[in-house]
Structure 1
Amino acid sequence: MDTVELRGLVTLLRARATDLTDLEAKTAVGGLPKSVRETISAFSNGRGGTILLGLDERADFAVAEGFQAARIRDDLASACSSDLEPPVRAEIDIVDIGEGAIVVAEIPELDPRFKPCFVRSRGEYNGSFTRGGDGDRKLTDFEIHLLHTNRGQPDDDRRSVDGASVEDLDGLSVSYLLRRVRQRQRRAFDGLDDEGVLRRLNVLAPDVDGRLVPTLGGMLALGQYPQQFFPQLNATFVVYPGVSAEDVPAGGPRFLDNRTFEGSIPNIVDEAVAAVLRNTSVRSFVEGAGRRDVYDYPVEALREVIVNALVHRDYSPYSRGTPVQIVLYADRLAVANPGGLFGAVTEDDLGGEGVSSTRNPVLVKLLQDVQLPDSDRTVCENRASGIPTMLREMRRAGSAPPEFHNRITRFKVVFPRHALLTAETMAWIEGLGATGLTATQQMALAQLHEGRAITNQSMRNLGLDGRRATVELADLVGRGLAARIGERRHARYVLVPSAGRALAEASQGDREGAVLAALSGRGEMSRRDIELATGLGQITVLRALESLIAVGKVEATAPPRSPLRRYRRI
């Protein structure tokens, strides 16, 4: 990392007045802090991160007086090599930022096959950490269990279901499956009777008494009512009237819709897609002699996100009490499933060609031959096409791309409801004074303006090849619009605070105007959301909000110390 890039990160820390999820600063004047080992563990178990040593948070992240860079560099290298298991191969440098020299360490994400990384002296279950906000927290036993299972291939979907029988499968669905696989794969099933085919497909397996009964995968794909045996293996659907669960109008309903979808996965997908479409607006366009209906969320993208959640969720006993959750807000749709990404796939890989790793191979293989209700199409293709389809359909609709949030215990996809390049966003981009931006750079800036980080992969998801994505991101950094956090494939780009303040500076430093502009058309926002949208620091935002509340232009939704406090423009 060169000096210019590092100064950008320091500027970012000063503007935010706190550490970030993947950026940690410590003073380290009296020696290497013990907590650095926890941060290294947390970054290794997540997406990687950057540690800056020699910055004093209490002095606005100035270079700490008395900091001994060479000594701390050597101590940090020793800690990475000797104090963590497995050892961490960090890139550690001393960089002079003009005010003095600090130590910069780039911590890579650990290969999923070797997670968790833990502090040796504390042991695996007491010394494994992850990031939570701008700090570190210990991994729970369940999270460590999931990381262990991620090292191999889970077999939960091929295990027999206690108490079930062949009669619990849907006869019509089984008949269609048998007919289809015999047509498609004649050699694999030649000479086998129906029972033999179902055994070979892992629909049936012997239980502890030797009886042939449905497997979990067979029951989920073909069962009449799997919830008889697994009550929570379903999907829930909630529609909120506002932009959060707490955003309820006075005297209005808490939910606009609240449902649970049960049955086999094909039935759940069919009913869930229909329910979301019923609760979203539709615009009709006349095309020739026909009519085309356009929904808030493209139907194909909607179907893929629900299928992915049901197919790739964690089905281990630890997670069988948690359903797939579909939540519709006024400004977005969120679909979450238990269990994070499986195998070697990371968030940065999502959308890449042929990128796939299957937690439930029996279930996925079955569903490529199982029909959706009242349809001639199957549930999934099993060709790593789900997320590319979501991206393509959202791009065709002119919508903002989906957001992916991966945690060890949960994976969530968020579909924004709005278009990416709105008039307000284009005005903000023009206010930056940057000429010659490409269309993809403008789309990248629009995402940064919303408080989202971008990566090389997210630029490729906009239609660029890898080389061009690297060039355009480097240009945004060179223009002083974006700052890079992390190195190589783990690099993420965030908005430089000075760029976030450009709109406010264009109106003679009107900070209150910048806050009002951020609140316009966005419903309720937290203080943190406003900081990300404007690039203003925490104290500046709080002072602006206090002034705006006093003159009746903004109102708060909760008392000052409440974690639910949000702000809306009056």
Structure 2
Amino acid sequence: MKQSELDSHLARLRTLGRDDALIEIKAWAHKSESKSFWETVSAFANSNGGIIVLGLEEPSFTPAPGFNAKDVEDRIRSGLNTSDQHAIRVEPVPDYSVELLKVDTQLCVVVTISPLTVNGPCFVKSKGVSNGSFKRVGDADQRLSALEVYELQHRFDKHASDREHVPGTDINDLDTSLTKAMESRLKRQHSRLDFDETNKWIKQKSIVTQDGELTLAGLMALGEYPQQFFPQLFIDVAVHPGKEKAPAGENTRFVDRVLCESNVATQVLDAIAAIRRNLRTRRVIEGSLGKDVLEIPETVLREALANAVMHRDYSAPFRDQNISVDIFLDRVEISSPGGLPGGKTTENLDDGQQIPRNSTLARLLQDVPLSHEYDGVLAESNGGGILTMINTMKSVGLPRPTFKVDIARVTVILQRFGLADGEVASWVKERLGDEFSIAEGAALVLAKDLGAVTAKDLKRQTGGDSGELQIMLDKLAQQGSLIESSQGVYTLSSAGAQLTPAQQDVFDAVSNTEELSAQQVSDLTDRPISTVRAALRHLVEIGLITATAPPSSRKRAYRRT
């Protein structure tokens, strides 16, 4: 680490007034801090890595009196020395670096811990695996659950839980019509499988074992009712009235609730239907044609749900957990049991490289029709699902999906507030009329939310051609919906907002650089304060100006967006 990097981190922490998920500060003045150091090493190794700075006091993050950097450095190197099993303090030892850097005039020890690249968990030897394994949660080190320990113990294994036989099952537990539809599809594709009178192909596809019992993959892909054997392997769709779940202990009130059972293809179709019922649609004009567009495109929902059923952990400790879909006012969250397998991280999820957790199930889902009548399949398994989600969300003016990854659970978050949102659509219509393209709508929304928009911003959001987007921005400026405030940079115009004379006067008085109070605007416009306040309120609502404080604050002032 460079000295400038450490200085930058410390400046951030001093602003926060505490540690964060990446940096831990310890004075190392007491024996308890020496003890907790190894817990933090474990936490960073089992999470996303991190940096431990030793020799500083909190909350000032200034040098701790009496800190002996060389002595502490020697003790840390000894505790991480894999050639001395008696001195080693954590196991397995993660990749690390130890450096001496200055804060003010005193040397501090900076320890950088990398995430584990082998099966874990990294644990404090004196405490054992169960009590000595930790993860980083915010600025704290939290002990791992038994499920999280299990997940890390097998993270880099070649998983085969989907090939396990399911006791008590046989070919009669398959959905006959779906199985026949799959057979017909394979025959049309001139498969080399053996379609003899004994249904040998079913064994060749690992749907059943040599003993005649179904594999877990076969049961989940083609079973008539897998929940007879695994009651919790379903998708739970819950619609919440607000932006968060009800606090623990309160009576939970759902707007809608659907438990989607049967095989995974049926579960996904039923889940999509339940989500569709609780999302909005809007009419979009592209060229001379119009079409109804779901608030979150169905392609995105299908890919997210397919990823969930295909890549969730089906090993024994996770079979009592379902996939959850939570629909909030501002987003949809799809959460599946199990962490990311192998070397997958949030940074490389969209690289197109697959590390399938359930390779047999994934292969089956390339051949199982989505329904008895429809020849399309649930999963292409070509590694492009997440890229498809990202590009599709961009194309309709929505933020790209985000992923929240814990050791034993992965959640994809899909934002709802795009051009299909009623308030946003009404705001855009007020400026562009009823007929506008997705790119035109996105341009105005970005100008409103970011204060300005460029062709580069739009390309990142919509994936469109930079040259065509630049022409479109120029056109919006010529129409008066945007103003080119500097070369290639466009801000909102007041012309398309259909302002009253009073509102226009107030807008003209508000500055781009100086914050003005309502009274100052009243003095500048020579209009009554009540009229000015009403106009300011409207201008804030439509995004032309920004308020600097809540309505109840005496310090509330205004400037142009």
AA matched with 1:311 = M
Match of 2:375 in 1: 376
Write the distance in 1 (CA, Å) between the matches of 2:142 and 2:464. 35
Deviations 1:451-496 (A, max 9, x none): xxxxxxxxxx999xxxxxxxxxxxxxxxxxxxxxxxxxxxxxxxxx
Write the distance in 2 (CA, Å) between the matches of 1:356 and 1:91. 30
Structure 1 position 39, deviation (Å): 0.7
Write the distance in 1 (CA, Å) between the matches of 2:300 and 2:178. 25
Match of 2:221 in 1: 221
Indicate the SS of the match to 1:91.
strand
Give the gaps of 5 or more residues in structure 1.
445-460, 464-504, 509-516, 522-543, 554-570
* Percent of residue pairs identical: 32
Distance 1:427 1:19, change over 3 A: farther
Give the conservation status (yes or no) of the 8 Å contact 1:43–1:107: yes
TM-score, scaled to structure 2: 0.72
Distance 1:462 1:320, change over 3 A: farther
Deviations 1:54-110 (A, max 9, x none): 22114x222223323333223222222222212233122222244643222211111
2:201 aligned residue (197, 207, 210): 197
Match of 1:311 in 2: 310
Structure 1 position 120, deviation (Å): 2.1
Write the distance in 2 (CA, Å) between the matches of 1:223 and 1:56. 60
Write the distance in 2 (CA, Å) between the matches of 1:265 and 1:30. 55
RMSD: 3.7
Match of 1:76 in 2: 76
1:93 aligned residue (90, 93, 99): 99
AA matched with 1:369 = D
Query: Of the two, which has the highest radius of gyration?
Result: 2
Match of 2:47 in 1: 46
Residue 186, structure 1, aligned to residue 191, structure 2:
yes
Match of 1:234 in 2: 234
Write the distance in 2 (CA, Å) between the matches of 1:16 and 1:123. 34
Write the distance in 1 (CA, Å) between the matches of 2:514 and 2:10. 24
Structure 1 position 30, deviation (Å): 4.9
Structure 1 position 324, deviation (Å): 0.5
1:127 aligned residue (110, 128, 132): 132
Write the distance in 1 (CA, Å) between the matches of 2:323 and 2:359. 19
Match of 2:340 in 1: 341
AA matched with 2:110 = V
Match of 1:357 in 2: 355
Match of 2:4 in 1: 4
Give the conservation status (yes or no) of the 8 Å contact 1:402–1:415: yes
Write the distance in 2 (CA, Å) between the matches of 1:83 and 1:429. 49
Give the conservation status (yes or no) of the 8 Å contact 1:178–1:194: no
Distance 1:169 1:107, change over 3 A: same
Structure 1 position 357, deviation (Å): 1.2
Indicate the SS of the match to 1:114.
coil
Report runs of 4+ in structure 1 exceeding 3 Å deviation: 29-32, 97-101, 182-187, 190-194, 286-290, 419-431, 436-444, 505-508, 548-551
Indicate the SS of the match to 1:270.
helix
Deviations 1:320-359 (A, max 9, x none): 2211100010111100011111122122211113x21111
Write the distance in 1 (CA, Å) between the matches of 2:397 and 2:74. 51
Residue 160, structure 1, aligned to residue 161, structure 2:
no
Give the conservation status (yes or no) of the 8 Å contact 2:265–2:378: yes
Give the conservation status (yes or no) of the 8 Å contact 1:80–1:89: no
Give the conservation status (yes or no) of the 8 Å contact 1:157–1:215: yes
Write the distance in 2 (CA, Å) between the matches of 1:429 and 1:76. 46
Write the distance in 2 (CA, Å) between the matches of 1:360 and 1:279. 31
Task: With a CA cutoff of 8 Å and minimum separation of 6, indicate the structure with the bigger relative contact order.
Answer: 1
Structure 1 position 177, deviation (Å): 1.7
Deviations 1:18-72 (A, max 9, x none): 22122211112457621111111111111111111122114x2222233233332
What does 1:150-549 correspond to in 2, within 5 Å?
Answer: 150-184=155-189, 186-187=191-192, 189-190=193-194, 192-206=196-210, 210=211, 212-246=212-246, 254-287=253-286, 290-353=289-352, 355-373=353-371, 374-419=373-418, 439=456
Residue 145, structure 1, aligned to residue 145, structure 2:
no
Give the conservation status (yes or no) of the 8 Å contact 1:126–1:138: yes
Indicate the SS of the match to 2:317.
helix
Structure 1 position 397, deviation (Å): 1.8
Structure 1 position 191, deviation (Å): 6.7
Give the conservation status (yes or no) of the 8 Å contact 2:194–2:200: no
Write the distance in 2 (CA, Å) between the matches of 1:84 and 1:302. 42
Match of 1:458 in 2: none
Deviations 1:201-233 (A, max 9, x none): 111114xxx4x1322111111111111221111
Write the distance in 2 (CA, Å) between the matches of 1:204 and 1:167. 11
Write the distance in 1 (CA, Å) between the matches of 2:72 and 2:320. 47
Distance 1:174 1:395, change over 3 A: same
Indicate the SS of the match to 1:157.
helix
Write the distance in 1 (CA, Å) between the matches of 2:72 and 2:514. 42
Aligned residue pair count: 451
Write the distance in 2 (CA, Å) between the matches of 1:352 and 1:166. 38
Give the conservation status (yes or no) of the 8 Å contact 1:440–1:462: no
AA matched with 2:107 = A
Indicate the SS of the match to 1:25.
strand
Distance 1:178 1:102, change over 3 A: same
Structure 1 position 419, deviation (Å): 4.8
Give the gaps of 5 or more residues in structure 2.
82-87, 420-441, 466-512, 517-536, 542-548, 557-561
Write the distance in 2 (CA, Å) between the matches of 1:94 and 1:437. 44
Match of 2:500 in 1: none
Give the conservation status (yes or no) of the 8 Å contact 2:246–2:252: no
Deviations 1:237-285 (A, max 9, x none): 11112111239xxxx9932211111111111111111221221111112
Give the conservation status (yes or no) of the 8 Å contact 1:343–1:358: no
Structure 1 position 422, deviation (Å): 8.5
Give the conservation status (yes or no) of the 8 Å contact 2:56–2:62: yes
Write the distance in 2 (CA, Å) between the matches of 1:426 and 1:66. 54
Give the conservation status (yes or no) of the 8 Å contact 2:171–2:214: yes
Write the distance in 2 (CA, Å) between the matches of 1:342 and 1:185. 33
AA matched with 1:25 = I
AA matched with 1:339 = G
Match of 2:112 in 1: 106
Distance 1:298 1:506, change over 3 A: farther
